[in-house]
Amino acid sequence: MIRLNDITSRILSYHPAADTNLIEKAYVYSAKVHKGQVRLSGEPYLSHPLEVAGILANMKMDEVTIVSGLLHDTVEDTLAELKDIEYLFGKEVATIVDGVTKISKIHFLSKEEQQAENIRKMILAMSTDIRVILVKLADRLHNMQTLGFQPSEKQEVIAGETLDIYAPLAGRMGIHWLKSNLEDLSLFYLEPKIYGDIRLGIAQRQEGQAKFIKEIKEILAKRLDEAGIKATIKGRNKHFFSIYRKMMEQDL
């Protein structure tokens, strides 16, 4: 489990003037109201808001967003009230926590793309502060990372919702690493055999692909240098879901 010190160290590395006292205060409050609650993994419930805050710190968010991450489940899952959050942590934090709570109450009932699009639009319209969506996406990422502790029927429902609603939202926000992670985790639960086959195929070809990418990068770097163009060249392998989608398009 990530520690509070890890989170404060991360935020201070990119935001030296951050109010870490507010973060520590939120941690203490979250620990107090979630006391006695346990995740299906057997870990204290506090591990979840801590991980969410850690993800937000990795995204280099401000302290208000990280505090909101620590408190995002307090109104929904404890006896805490929104007025308490506003009194203790301010209007901004309360607005974000309220927004995340409202989004959590939306349930996706159909596989139809139009309904999925309507829900995505609803979430965007409800979120007057973009940080609401960022906290919700971090929350969903950690829930997907720990989805294995849920019953199998619930795994499929949550994975489907993630693939249809939250991964596209991450893409619209331009957070492509998060979109890829959510898609790959969804594929793991929705199509475990295909996921395993893709993983095995990638492992078998990884060495050759890495060598090929390295050679192409060197050729491009040389050509750009000769043309007097300064550039950073990055190569990456396709993520699992991207390969799966290509397979479906080609009917493989």
Report DSSP letters for the chain, one per residue.
---HHHHHHHHHHH-TT--HHHHHHHHHHHHHHTTT-B-TTSSBTTHHHHHHHHHHHHTT--HHHHHHHHHTTHHHHSS--HHHHHHHH-HHHHHHHHHHHHHHT-------HHHHHHHHHHHHHH-SSHHHHHHHHHHHHHHHHTGGGS-HHHHHHHHHHIIIIIHHHHHHTT-HHHHHHHHHHHHHHHSHHHHHHHHHHHHHHHHHHHHHHHHHHHHHHHHHHHTT--------PPPHHHHHHHHHHTT-
CATH architecture designation of domain 4-190: Orthogonal Bundle (1.10)
pTM: 0.86
Per-residue confidence (pLDDT) for residue 1, from 0 to 100: 83
Per-residue confidence (pLDDT) for residue 154, from 0 to 100: 94
Q: Is 76 a catalytic residue?
A: yes
Per-residue confidence (pLDDT) for residue 235, from 0 to 100: 62
* 131 class by beta-carbon count within 10 Å (0-12 exposed, 13-18 middle, 19+ buried): buried
**Cα 248 to Cα 244: distance, rounded to the nearest angstrom:** 6
**Cα 8 to Cα 69: distance, rounded to the nearest angstrom:** 13
Q: Is 77 a catalytic residue?
A: yes
The active-site residue, picked from 19, 43, 62, 77, is: 77
Cα-to-chain-centroid distance, residue 199: 21
How would you write the pLDDT of the chain (252 residues) with one tens digit per residue? 899 999 999 999 999 999 999 999 999 999 999 999 999 999 999 999 999 999 999 999 999 999 999 999 999 999 999 999 999 999 999 999 999 999 988 877 666 677 788 888 888 877 889 999 999 999 999 999 999 999 999 999 999 999 999 999 999 999 999 999 999 999 999 999 999 988 888 877 766 667 777 777 888 888 888 888 988 877 666 788 888 888 888 775
The active-site residue, picked from 6, 76, 81, 225, is: 76
Domain boundaries, the chain: 4-190, 194-249
Q: How many angstroms separate the Cα of 149 from the Cα of each of 41, 70, 143, 216?
A: 6, 22, 10, 42
